[in-house]
Structure 1
Amino acid sequence: MNNKEKLVVIIGPTAVGKTKLSIELAKRYNGEIISGDSMQIYRGMDIGTAKIKEEEMEGIPHHLIDIRNPEQEFSAAEFQQLVREKITEISSRNKLPIIVGGTGLYIQAAIFDYQFSDALSDPEFRSKLEKRADLEGNQVLHDELASIDPQSASEIHPNNVRRVIRALEIYHCTGKTKEETQANQSPELMYETALIGLTMDREQLYERINLRVDLMVEEGLLEEVESLYKRGLRTCQSIQAIGYKEIYQYLDGLTSLPEAIETLKQNSRRYAKRQLTWFRNKMNVQWFNIGEDDFVKKISEISAYIEGKLQLKSNT
């Protein structure tokens, strides 16, 4: 007998339409939504992360949004713990948990029996690196990381010494990069899961991304980023997010505003491409082309898949 909790997961690239679908499914299956976005956890970062607005929620409870201040660090391991608590809590109320987002590693960590390498440590090695950072500067350690683990180096700011040292420590302990230590696992799904991926024609998706960025600017993205900039937030994890780092370049006087916006669009398009590649390579996803047919027809198709997969009945 399968006693696993039922779970719907909606993944896909930025701007593909995950939010709209999630609300419809939550209404249909008495669901509550858990954000699977690594940046929507931050308070005061609403426009740049395309955070759902109160009126768009249509009364559906949303979880793991606005749970950290922008200066705080947050890891996939923390996300894993919080999501699992939420899934249990939502299920205990006879509601259907629905994870929605585009941060692949976070979602993978939450729904699979995924072991993190946090247990691996060498305090003596770490202490040596901390002293080197003090004497030789942060960039030296970051360059060292880039030579052995370019993936981690591209994701970590040179001034985020704690995370640079952690990535070097994992390599020192295992002889493998952080991604390699995680990729070698073949974890099991923790839940009875309907894993839905949304996609659309690339040109159409890129057009939507460009329009979304224009709308963000209209809605006050510049002012939002400026408020973080004036608070002196600079090297923290949150400011490395797409939508923030590009505007920081403008605020630092390194580029014009139109150039910063164009770079933001380009980075968003590249990110969407990386998201799709990641999901296709790492997870067994049931894909739906959201650009074809009308939305109502697509909802019916996706609902039929969920009902078959999870043995659910809709409210409608």
Structure 2
Amino acid sequence: MMIMCKQVQPPVMQIPTGGMDFPVLRCRPQKEKVVVVMGATGTGKSRLSIDIAARFTAEIINSDKMQVYEGLDVVTNKITDAECGGVPHHLLGIVDPELDFTAANFASTASLAMKSIVGRGKLPIIAGGSNSFIEALVDDENHEFRSRYDVCFLWVDVAMLVLHGFVSDRVDRMVAAGMVEEVGNMYHPNADYSKGIRRAIGVPEFDSYFRAQFSSSAGEKTRAELLEAAINETKTNTIKLARRQLEKIHRLKTVKGWKIHRLDATRVFQKKGRDADEAWAELVAGPAAVIVNEFLYSFDHSRSFPATAEMGAAMATAIH
């Protein structure tokens, strides 16, 4: 069932009678609002975007350059229908896997999606790890985005050493979920790994394994060794990707001067089960909701959403 959360409406301005100079009340046309959720792979961007969408009436635009392609759902870690919680998602699994979908393609397609979402009175949330896509959209040559939208950047961050362990475990879970079979179904000995969905981490790494798998000369031991090597290479390349993503976020923050709100989820990843969920609410979802609420309705703090006492300190830290 689709989650529909009623947005808070701004108060009606009361204009006092008397000798007020009415031109003073003139305001610039208000820009539309957009939230962008950033972070390295595996940090919980999708989870946070859905948490925000559940509190504010919103729809999500995927900005992961591999998840825009149709197919390889396990390899690309596409969010499932169940995980979406009824929140509409755009640019997810819509592109022919053999084609190239560029940053410019994303900027134009995402712009159309944003206009559609805003036109239906909802908040666009852009979520994904491809910072080059986000940068192409936000800092376009014609400054169309900046002239039309105000943007709130949220960055879910996890200490790299902690993230390393999670990424390794996640690849193992992907293998158990059928990743190898999924890649094998689209394997071709003359495949071009420089275009389309075949650029995804977890595809080219298995080329040697599948060549041996379909070769009568390769023994079982050789195939097993090649499989293990492919899995380990997938883990290594995923960690390298996370580091590159982190470097780009730092560049956007320090060099380009983007105002990015950092949410430290490290403690979440150090816990399990209910303790992890409670840490997520306290350290990530709660503070993010406060930031977004202030971004949307900063002129009237009295209409902010109710917060639990346990979240107070973490929320205050996140805002300031």
Match of 2:160 among 189, 197, 202: 202
Aligned residues: 246
Q: How does 1:197-276 map to 2 (within 5 A)?
A: 197-230=155-188, 233-235=191-193, 236-253=195-212, 256-276=226-246
Shift of 1:189: 6.7
- In the aligned structure 1, how far is the partner of 2:189 from the partner of 2:29? 51
> Which residue is 1:292 aligned to?
267
Q: Secondary structure at the match of 1:256?
A: helix
- In the aligned structure 1, how far is the partner of 2:139 from the partner of 2:112? 14
Q: How does 1:112-151 map to 2 (within 5 A)?
A: 112-114=139-141
Q: How does 1:1-316 map to 2 (within 5 A)?
A: 1-114=28-141, 188=146, 190-230=148-188, 233-235=191-193, 236-253=195-212, 256-283=226-253, 284=258, 285-292=260-267, 294-298=279-283, 299-311=285-297
Q: Which runs of 4+ in 1 moved over 6 A?
A: 312-316
State the percentage of identical aligned residues: 32
Shift of 1:292: 3.3
Q: Given residue 307 of structure 1, which amino acid in structure 2 is its aligned partner?
A: N
Q: Does the 8 A contact of 2:294 with 2:304 survive in 1?
A: no
Q: Secondary structure at the match of 2:201?
A: coil
- In the aligned structure 2, how far is the partner of 1:2 from the partner of 1:70? 41
Q: Secondary structure at the match of 1:252?
A: helix
Q: Given residue 295 of structure 1, which amino acid in structure 2 is its aligned partner?
A: W
Q: Given residue 289 of structure 1, which amino acid in structure 2 is its aligned partner?
A: D
What TM-score do you get using the length of structure 2 for normalisation? 0.72
Shift of 1:110: 1.4
- In the aligned structure 2, how far is the partner of 1:4 from the partner of 1:191? 5
Q: Secondary structure at the match of 1:207?
A: helix
Q: 1:29 to 1:314 in 2, by over 3 A?
A: farther
Shift of 1:26: 0.5
Q: Does the 8 A contact of 2:62 with 2:126 survive in 1?
A: yes
Shift of 1:45: 1.6
Shift of 1:291: 1.9
Shift of 1:306: 1.2
Shift of 1:300: 1.4
Deviations along 1:86-136, one digit per CA (max 9) or x if unpaired, are 111001111111000000110111122336xxxxxxxxxxxxxxxxxxxxx
Q: Who wins on radius of gyration, i.e. which is larger? A: 2
Q: Given residue 207 of structure 2, which amino acid in structure 1 is its aligned partner?
A: Y
- In the aligned structure 1, how far is the partner of 2:89 from the partner of 2:189? 28
- In the aligned structure 1, how far is the partner of 2:69 from the partner of 2:97? 5
What TM-score do you get using the length of structure 1 for normalisation? 0.73
Q: Tell me which of the two structures has the higher relative contact order, counting C-alpha pairs closer than 8 angstroms and 6 or more residues apart.
A: 1
Deviations along 1:229-265, one digit per CA (max 9) or x if unpaired, are 1596434332122111112232133970001000100
Aligned CA RMSD, in angstroms, stands at 2.2
